[in-house]
Amino acid sequence: MLAILIFTRMFGYVEMVLLNTRLFGFGRHISPSSTGKDKIRHTSMALQGNLKWEEWWGTLVESAERFQLVKMRLNLSLPRLHEDFYATWSKAGNHRRENLWQADIPLVVNGLHVGRLFASGVQDEALASREIAQFMQFVETLESQLGTVIQEGLRASGRKGLDSMISKPEPVEAPTPESSSAPEVATPT
């Protein structure tokens, strides 16, 4: 019965894909051919939806050498749009933990939380804060591109724009000095 639900994609399909990917990745770790020093492991999958996340992820992967990255993990989740994308990238090697910087970055587009990016890189002679700041500037430009991918996907599918996905709170009026002062007391004349 469970196999029918998974096969028809009614229940458990995404979980099965993730499990298969993890098990396949585990097999690579224990195989003798995976001992290369600069071996790169890469996984990406659209768990749900059909927006073009691969190009956006590809830009991040191409930046790995420039920022001396050794590990990245991306999770994009837009439940209202029925979009979910997961990707990992890592470079094997003898990276001493004390020489690595790490950043866990929430990705926000037009005020809407759309996912997280985790990155880890090797610190060279420069200050770690400088290296992270340069990477953050790069990610900031990618966030605007991420918004473009989402908007184009919405347009192509005939759905409303991203702004309609964001629930904005009602503005609250600030009290004026007259309304916040103590009640007036009548004085005898």
Q: Are residues 96 and 153 in the same domain?
A: yes
DSSP string, 12-80: SHHHHHHHHHHHHHHHHHHSGGG--TT-EEEEEEEEE----HHHHHHHHHHTTTTTTEEEEEEEEEEGG
Q: Are residues 5 and 68 in the same domain?
A: no
Q: Are residues 50 and 28 in the same domain?
A: no
Q: Are residues 23 and 102 in the same domain?
A: no
Instruction: For residues 56 and 118, give the distance between their C-alpha atoms in angstroms, rounded to a whole number.
Output: 15
Q: Are residues 78 and 15 in the same domain?
A: no
Residue 62 lies in a domain: yes
Q: Are residues 152 and 89 in the same domain?
A: yes
Residue type, 175: P
Q: Are residues 91 and 67 in the same domain?
A: yes
Q: Are residues 144 and 134 in the same domain?
A: yes
Q: Are residues 48 and 138 in the same domain?
A: yes
Q: Are residues 105 and 143 in the same domain?
A: yes
Residue 99, domain extent: 36-159
Return the SS3 of 121.
strand
Distances (CA, A) of 5 to 2, 18, 84, 179: 5, 16, 20, 61
Q: How many domains does the chain have?
A: 2
Distances (CA, A) of 92 to 34, 70, 71, 95: 9, 7, 9, 8
pLDDT at position 16: 59
DSSP 150: H
Residue 66 lies in a domain: yes
Residue 102 lies in a domain: yes
Q: Are residues 115 and 43 in the same domain?
A: yes
Q: What CATH number did the domain enclosing 140 receive? A: 3.30.450
Q: Are residues 69 and 144 in the same domain?
A: yes
Query: Can you give the pTM of this predicted structure?
Result: 0.65
Q: What tens-digit pLDDT sequence spans the chain (189 residues)?
A: 656 655 665 555 556 555 555 555 544 444 444 444 568 888 888 888 878 788 889 989 999 988 989 999 999 998 878 889 999 999 988 777 878 888 999 999 888 899 999 999 988 776 778 888 888 999 998 888 888 888 887 777 676 655 555 444 445 565 555 554 544 555 555
Residue 130 lies in a domain: yes
Residue 119 lies in a domain: yes
Taking a C-beta distance cutoff of 8 angstroms, is the pair 149, 53 a contact? yes
Q: Can you tell me which residue has the tokens 């994308």? A: 85
pLDDT at position 176: 57
Q: What's the token pair of residue 109?
A: 């587009």
Residue 168 lies in a domain: no
Q: How many CB atoms lie within 10 A of CB 78?
A: 22
